[in-house]
Structure formats: structure tokens, C-alpha cells
Amino acid sequence: MLVSNFVYEKEGAKRKKVMKYHTAFPKDRVFGWDDVKFFMTGQYILMHSVIYRTELLRQCGLELPKHTFYVDNIFVFQPLPHVKNIYYLDVNFYRYYIGREDQSVNETVMIGRIDQQLRVTKLMLGYYDVTKIGSRKLRKYMTQYLEIMMTVSSVLAIKSGTEENLEKKAELWQYLKN
């Protein structure tokens, strides 16, 4: 797995936010999960920052749901236990343009597509029993990733203000408990 920095390019903003991984990953060498340091709050490996070997994606059986938004989370998450070698390239490789009203990560758009967010979150919860992942650091990272997915799903349901979405949130939490 190759990881690099990416830049949030917000429409109309003068300052650009760079997502770096220097607190989490060693530089200039191949390393494994045991060599990972720590992820800062809000620091996650995203699709914009990761490149996998095609063979690894085949070996782990990655299949993204068709006609579904937010599958970039699955793309990053599902292969992680299969990754043995990581290389961090401390370069701002990708520019992620955000801030458009019609963008899939716009809050209003996400609320309108909450069923897809919930579907992706449930799929991710079902891929692994993260408590049984051998590497302590990978287990912690994957648990934190699932926590953020649960948080995003729950907040969207609450912000929607509908009873139907609050019921969907309760169903998601029950799914997690089961």
C-alpha cells in the first residue's frame, strides 16, 4: 500500500488544508503495521491518499457495490488486513476539490443519500470482527474508522430531523450490537 498526502482545495478559500501522515507513518522506507506510530484525531487514510497493488485488491476479494455513493470508504477499509507492506510518500499527490453544492459530500446531499451511507457503514461492519485482527495497531485503526462511519451516519440521521431517519439510526446501532 502506497500512502501520500492530499490537499483539500475548498472553493473560494485562500488557505488549503494538507492532510499529511508524518505523525503516523515512517518516511523513506517500507514498513508494516507494527511500525505505525499514531493517527491524530480526524486523520484517516482516504481514497485520495492510497494506492493498492491490483493483485492485493483481487486477493482480498474487493467488490464495490454498484450505483452506490461513499464506497471509497470500502475501497480503503476492506483491503487493510491484507496489507503487509506500506510505503509513505510525503508528497502532496492529490488535490481534492470540495465546496460545490452538488458534491456528494455536501451535507444536504449526504442527508438525501443517507440510505447509501447506512448501507456502506453496515457493509463495513460486516467485513471483519475487528476484535480478532492480529495487529494491535491495525485493529485500533480499523476500530477508529468504524467509529467515524457510525458517527457520520448517526449525525446525518439526527440532522435530517425526520423520524424515519432516526429509526434508521436506531436500526444501525442495533445491527452493530447484534
Digits of tens for pLDDT over the chain (178 positions)?
999 999 988 777 788 889 999 999 999 999 999 999 999 888 899 999 999 999 999 999 999 999 999 999 999 999 999 999 999 999 998 887 666 666 556 677 788 899 999 999 999 999 999 999 999 999 999 999 999 999 999 999 999 999 999 999 999 999 999 9
Residue 9 in grid coordinates: 482545495
Strand 30-31, strand 50-51: pairing: unpaired
CA distances from residue 145 to 46, 63, 167 in whole angstroms, order as listed: 10, 19, 23
* pLDDT reported for residue 17: 86
* pLDDT reported for residue 19: 92
Q: What total of structural domains would you count in the chain?
A: 1
| Structural domain containing residue 112 | 2-177
Measured distance CA(96)–CA(98) in Å, rounded = 6
* pLDDT reported for residue 100: 60
CA distances from residue 76 to 42, 45, 73, 80, 170 in whole angstroms, order as listed: 16, 7, 5, 7, 26
Contact 168, 118 (CB under 8 A): yes
* pLDDT reported for residue 98: 66
Contact 78, 62 (CB under 8 A): yes
- Could you tell me which of 103, 87, 81 has the C-alpha nearest to residue 36? 87
Please give the model's pTM, rounded to 2 decimal places: 0.90
